[in-house]
Structure 1
Amino acid sequence: MRVKIYIEGGGDSAYLDERFREGWTAFFERAGLDNRMPRPVRGKGRTQTFDLYRTPVRNRRPDELPLLLVDSESLPAQECSPWQHLKARPEDNWDKPEGAGDDDAFLMICCMETWFIADRVALQRFFGQHWRENGIPKWETLEAISKEQVLKALNSASVVDPVDTRRVHPRSSCLPRSILQRSRKGARPQQSY
């Protein structure tokens, strides 16, 4: 049986597609699936991922199992299956495709930024002196934290006081633009603003 898992996320280039597949393949290997390796399929956007997934479900081959993996976007209700959650979310309102199994959909954490919080050392390294560790609570279970809480905590921990920044770095008005440009290119922001 060949398993293909249609995963939300990824970028808009062949390079990012390759990195996406490499990352998920390494994740599955570390999870002990190396001899039953699912093939990760980058879905890009959420709806695109669902649409990509529905095609092989509709044209099901007996030797292939398509699976769906998307962000939960919001905390699922207790005892709620992934398909029930995806149907209940007004932004999705997805019906389980005919031919899909009850266990063929999987949910990730509410938002990918939660993964950043899981690696506080990397955040400290990336933001340097502009990082406030105490801005993020010591949450026991990151999977139970809402998207709003995650984004608020990251904002609190990484916000730079503009008055202090301008005093030290008069050209600091270009800092946010520079960080955005460099993050799109995958480069680390410079400390010399």
Structure 2
Amino acid sequence: MNIYIYIEGAGDEDDIELLPRQRQGFRSGIISGKETTTGLRPGFRKFFQKLYDMAGENIHIFLVMCGSRGDAYEDFKTALESQPEAFNVLLIDAESPVNSTVTPWEHLRNRTEDHPWILDAVDFEDEQCHLMVQTMEAWFIADIDALREFYGKKFKEDKIQRGIKQLQNVEKVSKATLKVWLNAATRQTEKGKYHKTRHAPKLLELLDVDKVRKASPYCDRFFTTLTAKMGVSTNNPDER
């Protein structure tokens, strides 16, 4: 069984090779070898290590960084046609609060900011769409220890800690607020203010996945879905 995860975010030349079809003008704009454009795939690979460990020899997981959210969706749709025997998954930022009464697909279709590219997402399985709520940075504040380890002694976590205590859920923190909190916490550190392309890959590698799953229900949903899918494949040869 093959599992392909199409992720919103910066990639590199290896990701271009994994795309189900090579679109003209890879929109993530990655230039191989430049520090400021390091792809996110190694970070996600480390963060998803437990899934790889569970997969064993008979299940193969492929992570594909696709650039923009629209590109990720188009690559996911193409994969459904070009490799229907695989389990194809879309993983993108929610970008806004998610109502627990709607499915991830419905959430995306309800966002006028994502029109018109998402409007045809009507016949796909719910288990194939997963959200980083509200953005990937919510996973970072779920593990303050990882942030502290990466940024060092001058990391100021007070604003983040107060905010989490007030909201009681990292998934309620808006994209704009996450940026304010991370900028304030990291401004005086030796690594400088939080920078997504320079800092996020390493932060993903440092995260304690159990802490993030506990704090982020949608992250837990992702791991639970893939764990269940791999369990079915392992126990039933017809599902491979």
Q: With structure 1 as the length reference, what TM-score do the two structures score?
A: 0.68
Amino acid at match of 2:88: P
Corresponding position of 1:183: 198
Structure 1 residue 100, shift from structure 2 partner:
2.3
Query: 2: distance between equivalents of 1:126 and 1:59?
Result: 40
Amino acid at match of 2:74: D
Query: 1: distance between equivalents of 2:68 and 2:145?
Result: 29
Query: 1: distance between equivalents of 2:122 and 2:110?
Result: 18
Matched, 1:51 2:74: yes
Secondary structure, in 3 states, of the residue corresponding to 1:136?
A: helix
From 115, 129, 132, the counterpart of 2:156: 132
Mark the CA change 1:24 to 1:7 in structure 2 (over 3 Å): closer, same or farther. farther
Structure with higher RCO (Cα < 8 A, 6+ apart): 2
Structure 1 residue 107, shift from structure 2 partner:
1.0
After alignment, is 39-48 or 73-82 more displaced?
39-48
Query: 2: distance between equivalents of 1:79 and 1:38?
Result: 30
Secondary structure, in 3 states, of the residue corresponding to 1:115?
A: helix
Query: 1: distance between equivalents of 2:130 and 2:198?
Result: 29
Which runs of 5 or more residues in structure 2 are unaligned? 15-31, 33-38, 203-240
From 55, 70, 89, the counterpart of 1:67: 89
Say if 1:83 and 1:95, in contact at 8 Å, map to a contact too. Answer: no
From 77, 85, 96, the counterpart of 2:99: 77
Query: 2: distance between equivalents of 1:95 and 1:24?
Result: 31
Matched, 1:89 2:144: no
Amino acid at match of 1:113: E
Query: 1: distance between equivalents of 2:182 and 2:169?
Result: 16
Query: 1: distance between equivalents of 2:178 and 2:89?
Result: 27
Mark the CA change 1:128 to 1:38 in structure 2 (over 3 Å): closer, same or farther. closer
Query: 1: distance between equivalents of 2:76 and 2:144?
Result: 34
Amino acid at match of 2:185: A
After alignment, is 135-144 or 47-56 more displaced?
135-144
Q: With structure 2 as the length reference, what TM-score do the two structures score?
A: 0.57
Query: 1: distance between equivalents of 2:83 and 2:121?
Result: 11
Amino acid at match of 2:92: V
Corresponding position of 2:141: 117
The number of residues matched between the two structures is: 170
Query: 2: distance between equivalents of 1:55 and 1:26?
Result: 26
After alignment, is 45-54 or 149-158 more displaced?
149-158
Corresponding position of 1:4: 4
Identity %: 27
Structure 1 vs Structure 2 CA RMSD? 3.5
Query: 2: distance between equivalents of 1:59 and 1:97?
Result: 17
